[in-house]
């Protein structure tokens, strides 16, 4: 598949279906436990945000999840992990079918995460930044007891400010480097990426978390990029000034989050590597998937607790993963992440 335009920089298509699911249903889609299906891929960093937030808040029963396979073609994400290659609830083989049910002739990106209205089989929204905010605010009555506040009112301006620069320079910055079509656009993205990672290192050298003394939405958004850095972005996207493991503060911060229930136990390193190295055939035409890096270093002590902070504030960690949502054995080094 072609992602690089020779001589040009990379521009993400942000024309999302922005309909919101709200507590009052003001846009036609009220919050209703069991009515919707969250479609994700564990390979995708944008979808992985929703997976982490859903788990931290305990929305597993209220908002059931479908997991697409890690490799898609130019047409769509597929449900090849499910028996018969169909999602057992929606009954579809390709996520594109749910997009066309919403908009016949839909011609934009078939992206995850997407929330599908089960009764109609149509996508409600794929506006991934808003999806996780609404999980925190609109779905609050259905949070588990002890769920953390990931988007507290008093910290929202700071969270939003951090999220804006992290998205521009880091979350999307790795793509701007990896899909650059010229030396100039690549180097510009590369410099902005590592300047922002240095800025984040300085900030996190003094604070355990990005905003305040608990985990927030800002930490979730940074984590899903950092956890892919050495496995994909360092080599595949040429973001190779340093590995994450060579940036002590960020490496410790990322390990701290990885070892926090709700973060690392949702990560599938096999899906991550297969997606990037098989789907981006213009960058990796041989289709060879790297064997490394080994995941066990993610379990090494991080020594971040000395900075203070309480991961869940006055709340509690989520409980064990439901068996049906455990990452396959061998795809994650955490005890209990995969089936026994």
- Give 136-167 pLDDT, tens digit per residue: 999 999 999 999 999 999 999 999 999 999 99
**Alpha-carbon distances, residue 315 vs 10, 79, 149, 310, 318 (angstroms):** 41, 35, 8, 9, 9
Active site residue 239: no
Which tens digit of pLDDT belongs to each residue from 179-232?
999 999 999 999 999 999 999 999 999 999 999 999 999 999 999 999 999 999
Q: Does 98 have pLDDT greater than 70? A: yes
The whole-number pLDDT of residue 338 equals 75
Residue 290: phi and psi, rounded to 5, are -60, 145
Instruction: Burial-class residue 171 by CB neighbours within 10 Å (0-12, 13-18, 19+).
Output: buried
Angle, alpha carbons 103-109-114 (nearest 5°) = 70
Catalytic residue among 10, 36, 44, 276: 44
Instruction: Burial-class residue 323 by CB neighbours within 10 Å (0-12, 13-18, 19+).
Output: exposed
**Which residues of the chain does CATH 3.40.30.10 include?**
36-142
Residue 264: phi and psi, rounded to 5, are -60, -30
What's the whole-number mean pLDDT along residues 281-303? 96
The whole-number pLDDT of residue 258 equals 98
Q: How would residue 340 be classed by pLDDT, with cut points 50, 70 and 90?
A: low
| DSSP-derived secondary structure for 160-183 | HHHHHHHIIIIITHHHHHHT-SSH
The whole-number pLDDT of residue 89 equals 98
Question: For the chain, what is the mean pLDDT?
Answer: 96
Q: How would residue 70 be classed by pLDDT, with cut points 50, 70 and 90?
A: very high
Q: Does 279 have pLDDT greater than 80? A: yes
Domain covering 153-325 assigned CATH 3.40.50.1700 in the classification:
no
Domain covering 36-142 assigned CATH 3.40.30.10 in the classification:
yes
Active site residue 106: no
Q: Are 237 and 174 in contact (CB under 8 A)?
A: yes
**Which residues of the chain does CATH 1.20.1050.10 include?**
153-325
The pTM (predicted TM-score) of the whole model is 0.97
SS (H, E, C) 25-74: CCCCCECCCCCEEEEECCCCHHHHHHHHHHHHHCCCCCCCEEECCCCCCC
Angle, alpha carbons 257-246-327 (nearest 5°) = 40
CA distance 272 to 41: 9
The whole-number pLDDT of residue 3 equals 80
Q: Does 7 have pLDDT greater than 90? A: no
Q: Is the peptide bond before 335 cis (omega within 30 degrees of 0)?
A: no
Catalytic residue among 99, 175, 186, 276: 175
Q: How would residue 2 be classed by pLDDT, with cut points 50, 70 and 90?
A: low
The whole-number pLDDT of residue 88 equals 98
Q: How would residue 1 be classed by pLDDT, with cut points 50, 70 and 90?
A: low
């Amino acid at each position: 598949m072609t992602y690089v335009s020779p001589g040009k920089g990379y521009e993400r298509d942000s024309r999302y279906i922005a309909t919101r699911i709200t507590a009052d249903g003001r846009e036609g889609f009220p919050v209703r436990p069991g009515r919707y299906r969250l479609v994700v891929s564990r390979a995708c960093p944008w979808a992985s945000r929703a997976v982490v937030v859903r788990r931290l808040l305990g929305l597993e029963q209220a908002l059931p999840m479908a997991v697409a396979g890690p490799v898609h073609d130019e047409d769509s994400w597929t449900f090849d992990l499910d028996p018969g290659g169909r999602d057992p609830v929606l009954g579809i083989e390709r996520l594109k079918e749910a997009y066309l049910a919403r908009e016949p002739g839909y011609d934009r990106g078939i992206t995850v995460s997407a929330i599908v209205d089960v009764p109609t089989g149509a996508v409600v929204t794929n506006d991934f930044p808003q999806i996780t905010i609404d999980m925190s605010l609109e779905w609050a009555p259905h949070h588990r007891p002890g769920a953390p506040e990931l988007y507290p009112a008093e910290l929202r301006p700071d969270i939003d400010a951090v999220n804006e620069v992290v998205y521009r320079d880091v979350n999307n910055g790795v793509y701007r480097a990896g899909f650059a079509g010229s030396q100039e656009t690549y180097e510009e993205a590369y410099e902005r990426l590592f300047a922002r990672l240095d800025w984040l290192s300085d900030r996190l050298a003094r604070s355990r978390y990005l905003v305040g003394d608990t985990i927030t939405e800002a930490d979730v958004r940074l984590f899903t990029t950092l956890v892919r850095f050495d496995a994909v972005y360092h080599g595949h996207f040429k973001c190779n000034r340093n590995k994450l493991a060579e940036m002590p503060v960020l490496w410790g911060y990322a390990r701290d989050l990885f070892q926090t229930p709700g973060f690392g136990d949702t990560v599938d390193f096999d899906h991550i590597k297969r997606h990037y190295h098989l789907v981006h055939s213009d960058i990796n035409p041989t289709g060879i998937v790297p064997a490394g890096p080994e995941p066990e270093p993610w379990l090494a002590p991080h020594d971040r607790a000395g900075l203070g902070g309480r991961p869940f504030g006055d709340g509690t960690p989520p409980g064990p993963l439901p068996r049906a949502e455990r990452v396959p054995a061998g795809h994650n080094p955490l005890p209990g992440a995969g089936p026994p």
